[in-house]
Structure 1
Amino acid sequence: MTHAPLLVTEVVPRSLSAADVATEHGREWLRARYAREGSYVRLNMITSLTGSAAGEDGTSETLTSRIDRGILGVIRRDADVVVVGAQSVRAEGYVVPRTARLAIVTGSGRLAGHRLSLEPGAESDRVLLICPATVADEVSRSAAAYGAVVVPVAGDAHLSPRAILDALAARGLTRVVCEGGPTLAAQFAAAGVIDEYCVSVAPVIEPAHAPFLSVTAEGRPRTEVAGMLVDEAGFSFLRLRARE
């Protein structure tokens, strides 16, 4: 049985190399382009052409595509931990990665409404709940239902991205992918802790009620393009690296 090809072309650097990422060869081609050595913090997000983090259903599900999900898998595969805000887990549901840990950041400690599922082979104790130390007891009681590990961090309800990263590094988790949502992404960008922005741009015009990344003129990140892929559906997949 033949499969429909999922062709992706590299335009930056201008190799114009292309691969069918539905094949194992194509997936290896994709992994080579997203490979990164050492410790890092990546932000991985999807946006419409108008900058919205959500499609018509109010989630990113109506923006994403098979290729975008494939790139998500490649980025997660190389990471030690995926960091996501509790609001995103409530709004969209979340799948615990097979290899990387999933760290959910909650300032309030309220976990009601979370929708977590496991990839085949993933274990529930791979979920970390990062919270202010002041609500750690409350989170621990809620965490029992998830089999999750509570990671208390000094600070108030607005946890510092650097404090979050320090808590992860103390557990040996130094290859970090932040997947938002928009509030957490903006906090990480404002703190200047992101080494690489991996941004999928969907060919969709959608009212930007929830910008995928809010920045100020004074705090906007200084970046340069490290890579760009395009597919035949009109998606583009950018990698922007922070400049010193």
Structure 2
Amino acid sequence: MNMVATLTGAAAGGDGTSDSITSPTDRTVLGVIRRAADVVVVGAATVRAEGYVVPRTASLAIVSRTGRIDGHRLAAASVGRVVLLVPESAAASPPEGVEVVRVGPGPDIAPREVLASLAERGWRRVVCEGGPALAAQFAAAGLIDEYCVTVAPSLTPAERPFLPLGTHVETDVAGMIVDEAGFSYLRLRARRGGAANRR
């Protein structure tokens, strides 16, 4: 998982996106993580809010309960690099070049179903970039190996936490740095055998 948050736990700044709470170093980290991945997984709401484009070095998998994405900039994607994962019952009219993949009866798509569908395509190195609800589902299911979190030195209103967990996740610190601008970059590794303990 790779996400950015403020000191108060907000996943977005005043403009409603993560652009206003990121940094050049954070964007460099993002690029490194994406280059090591086969596919980036993200929720449809985040695609709409952030104006997502297709990563240069990884494929893009969008998870949606409704099949709705207003992502006109995705239309330039090469065929086979962008998939829209939806329940079997959902209607979907994606932009050209985006393939619809139906996963499970719905209305929700389980994280394990997402990973299984991606694995069928040979996409096994997966990075989840949120949003908060999707990332929390993956974390609660014990499916995240590493958490890479950039914390911006900002105090902002936070209606919802960037990772709204309902379970305790056991982790160990694998690395942390702080830059001159006050941004911290934290890498946590999930403990195997006890990654998620449901209440």
Same fold (TM over 0.5): yes
- Which whole-Å CA distance do the structure 2 matches of 1:202 and 1:115 have between them? 30
- Equivalent residue letter for 1:236: S
- Which whole-Å CA distance do the structure 2 matches of 1:131 and 1:204 have between them? 35
Paired residue for 1:102?
60
- Which whole-Å CA distance do the structure 1 matches of 2:54 and 2:9 have between them? 26
Paired residue for 1:93?
51
Paired residue for 1:195?
145
Asked whether the 8 Å contact 2:80–2:98 carries over to 1, the reply is: yes
Paired residue for 1:221?
169
SS of alignment partner, residue 165 of structure 1: helix
| Match for residue 135 of structure 2 among 177, 185, 190 | 185
- Equivalent residue letter for 1:50: T
Deviation at 1:115, TM superposition (A): 4.8
- Equivalent residue letter for 2:26: D
1:236 aligns to 2:193 (yes or no) = no
| Match for residue 173 of structure 1 among 76, 101, 123 | 123
1:114 aligns to 2:71 (yes or no) = yes
With over 3 angstroms needed to count, the CA separation of the structure-2 counterparts of 1:178 and 1:224, relative to structure 1, is same
Deviation at 1:125, TM superposition (A): 3.6
Paired residue for 1:82?
40
Aligned residues: 192
- Which whole-Å CA distance do the structure 2 matches of 1:124 and 1:97 have between them? 14
Q: Which runs of 5+ in 2 are unaligned?
A: 193-199
- Equivalent residue letter for 2:131: G
Paired residue for 1:4?
none
SS of alignment partner, residue 228 of structure 1: strand
With over 3 angstroms needed to count, the CA separation of the structure-2 counterparts of 1:238 and 1:125, relative to structure 1, is same
Asked whether the 8 Å contact 2:63–2:84 carries over to 1, the reply is: yes
SS of alignment partner, residue 101 of structure 2: strand
SS of alignment partner, residue 40 of structure 2: strand
Q: TM-score, normalised by structure 2?
A: 0.91
| Match for residue 123 of structure 1 among 72, 78, 90 | 78
Paired residue for 1:205?
155
- Which whole-Å CA distance do the structure 1 matches of 2:107 and 2:38 have between them? 25
Paired residue for 2:195?
none
SS of alignment partner, residue 186 of structure 1: helix
Residue deviations 1:115-144 (CA, integer Å, cap 9, x gap): 53589xx62541111111222xx32xx12x
1:161 aligns to 2:111 (yes or no) = yes
- Equivalent residue letter for 1:54: A
Residue deviations 1:60-114 (CA, integer Å, cap 9, x gap): 1110011111110000001000000000011111021112100000111122x33
Deviation at 1:239, TM superposition (A): 0.6
- Which whole-Å CA distance do the structure 1 matches of 2:145 and 2:21 have between them? 25
- Which whole-Å CA distance do the structure 1 matches of 2:51 and 2:8 have between them? 24
Deviates more, 1:153-162 or 1:170-179: 153-162
Structure showing greater radius of gyration is: 1
Residue deviations 1:129-171 (CA, integer Å, cap 9, x gap): 1111222xx32xx12x331112111131211000100100111
Q: TM-score, normalised by structure 1?
A: 0.75
The alignment-based identity, stated in percent, is 59
